[in-house]
Amino acid sequence: MRIKIFQDLIEEVHNPGICQQCGGCVSFCNSIEKDVIGFKEPNSPPEYLNKENCLECGICYFICPQTHILDEDLNKTYNFSDFSSMPLGYIEGIYSCQTNDNEFLKYGTDGGVVNSIINFLIERKMIEGAIVAKTKGAFSREAIIAKNRNDLITASGVKLDLTPQLDSVQKFHTYTSSLPQLRHYKFKKLALVGTPCQIYTIRCMQSLGIIPSQNIEICLGLFCYENFFFDELRVKKFENDFNLKFENIERINIKEDLIVKLKGKRGSQKIIHIPFKKLKEYMRPACNACADFTNIYADISFGGLGSPDNFTTVITRTKKGKEIFNKVVKTGVIKILDKFNEKGIKDKLVQLSQSKIKRAESYFGNKLIKGKISEVTSVIKEE
Ligand SMILES: Cc1cc2nc3c(=O)[nH]c(=O)nc-3n(C[C@H](O)[C@H](O)[C@H](O)COP(=O)(O)OP(=O)(O)OC[C@H]3O[C@@H](n4cnc5c(N)ncnc54)[C@H](O)[C@@H]3O)c2cc1C
Ligand code: SF4
Ligand code: SF4
Ligand code: SF4
C-alpha cells in the first residue's frame, strides 16, 4: 500500500484524457520542490520533468479537480449538497450588472464588471494584484498578474496583438493554465480569476492549508460550459465550416453559444453565433468530464448568460464575496440593472448547467454520482 502520487494522476487522469490542465498540481509542487513536474507542451497535461526528485507526498493527487477527493469538505464549506438538487450551487444573491467605468466597459467581455471589481480592490489596497489572462489573439491568451488599471485594460478581451495567427506551429486555445502564476511569491494578496476547474483546485489547496494558496485573497469565478483547442488542421476546418478567416476575428465571447465578432467598419461588424453542439470536435476533451457551469466554489461568479448585451450576470456566494459586491455597488463602481428578471436568469443558468451535468454523466457512465466520480475515491493505492 502507498499514497497515490503524480504517477497515479498520469494513469487515472491524464491517460483517460480528463486532465483539465488547471496547473494546480504544478503550482503546488513547484512551491515545495522546483521542476519535478511541469508543462512541456501547450494544451497537454503536465509531465514529470525530474521524476527522481518527486517527494511522493501525494498532494498533487489530493488537489486535482478530477480526483474529487475533497468534494465533501468543499461542499460543506460552500453550502452545496449535490448537482442534482442544486445545479447552480449556493446562491446568496444574483444580479445583472454593468461597470460605471467607460474604459472597462469598452474593453470588457460583457459588462466589464470583473475588471472593475479587481481595480477597486487594488486601489483600496485590499489586494496587490490579480491573476488574469491576457488576450494574445482570437483564441489565444496567457496568464499574467495584473498590478494596476493599465495591466487590466491591456489584458482585456478586445485588444488583439499582431501575433501571426496562422503560423503552422502555433496552437490556439480559449483555456489558460493560470495557477502556475502563483509562483510569484512576492505577491501575498491576490485575486484569482478562473474557470470552475481552476477555482476548485485552489479551494482544495486552501482546504488543506497548503502553499501557495494562502496568497489568494478572493476567487472570482467565470461561468464555463466548455473551452476550445485549435491546431493547424482544426483552424482550417473551422474556417471552412463557418466560412470565416481566423485573422478576421476581432473578438470572441461565450454565453449559451460561441459568439464570434468579425473585423469590419464600426457598427456594421458581422456577428456569428455558433451553437456548442457544432463545436464538439474543437472542444478540449477534458471539458467532457466537467459538471460545474456556474463556478460553485467561487466567492463571486460571473458570466454573460442571462443578462442583456454589455451586462454581466453576477452571483454572490460567500460572505467575503457579498461584502465586496456591496462595496462596489455602494461606491458606484458598478450598477445593478433596473428590474432584471431574476427567475429568467436562473432558468437559463439551470438549463445550461443541467446540460453540462448530463454531458459529464454520459461521459462517465453511471460512475458520476452527485458530481463525484465513484471510481476515483481513494488516495491509497493497493500494490
Ligand atoms: C474560457 C471562458 C469560458 C467562458 N464560458 C462562458 C460561458 O459558457 N457562458 C457564459 O455566460 N460566460 C462564460 N464566460 C464568462 C464571460 O465570457 C465573461 O468573462 C464574464 O461574463 C465576465 O465579463 P466581464 O465583462 O464582467 O469581465 P471583464 O471585466 O471583461 O473581465 C474579465 C477578466 O477575466 C480575465 N480572463 C479572461 N479569460 C480568462 C481565463 N481564461 N482565465 C483567467 N482569467 C481570464 C480577463 O483578463 C479579465 O481580467 C467564460 C469566460 C472564459 C474566460
Ligand atoms: S513531489 Fe508531491 S506534489 Fe510533486 S509530483 Fe511528487 S507527489 Fe506530486
Ligand atoms: S491538477 Fe489540474 S493539471 Fe494537474 S493533473 Fe489534475 S487536472 Fe491536470
Ligand atoms: S469546462 Fe470545466 S474543465 Fe473545461 S475549462 Fe471549463 S471548468 Fe475547466
Instruction: Report the alpha-carbon distance of residue 233 to residue 246 in Å, rounded.
Output: 13
- Interval between CA 20 and ligand 3 midpoint (Å): 6
pLDDT above 70 for 14? yes
Instruction: Render pLDDT for 251-274 as a digit per residue (tens, 0 to 9).
Output: 888 898 999 889 888 778 899 999
4, 7, 19, 48: residue to mutate for ligand 3 pocket, most atoms within 8 A of CB: 19
- Report whether 288 contacts 359 (CB < 8 A): yes
13, 19, 20, 357: residue to mutate for ligand 4 pocket, most atoms within 8 A of CB: 20
| Maximum Cα–Cα distance across the chain | 65
**What is the pTM (predicted TM-score) of this model?**
0.90
Q: Is-cis flag, bond preceding 196, omega within 30? A: no
Instruction: Render pLDDT for 181-222 as a digit per residue (tens, 0 to 9).
Output: 666 556 679 999 988 988 998 899 899 888 778 889 999 999
List, chain by chain if needed, residues with CB within 6 Å of any ligand 1 atom. 104, 108-115, 132-133, 141, 152, 155-157, 174-176, 178, 193-195, 222-225, 227, 253-255, 302-305, 312
- Interval between CA 77 and ligand 1 midpoint (Å): 25
- Interval between CA 64 and ligand 3 midpoint (Å): 5
Model pLDDT, residue 168:
30
Of the candidates 325, 346, 344, 337, which has an alpha carbon nearest to the alpha carbon of residue 114? 325
Directed axis angle between helix 196-208 and helix 24-32, to 10°? 40
Instruction: Render pLDDT for 17-64 as a digit per residue (tens, 0 to 9).
Output: 888 888 889 888 887 778 899 888 767 889 999 999 999 999 999 889
- Interval between CA 189 and ligand 2 midpoint (Å): 25
Position 303, amino acid: G
**Mean pLDDT (the chain, rounded):** 85
The verdict on the CB of residue 195 being under 6 Å from ligand 4 is: yes
- Interval between CA 120 and ligand 3 midpoint (Å): 32
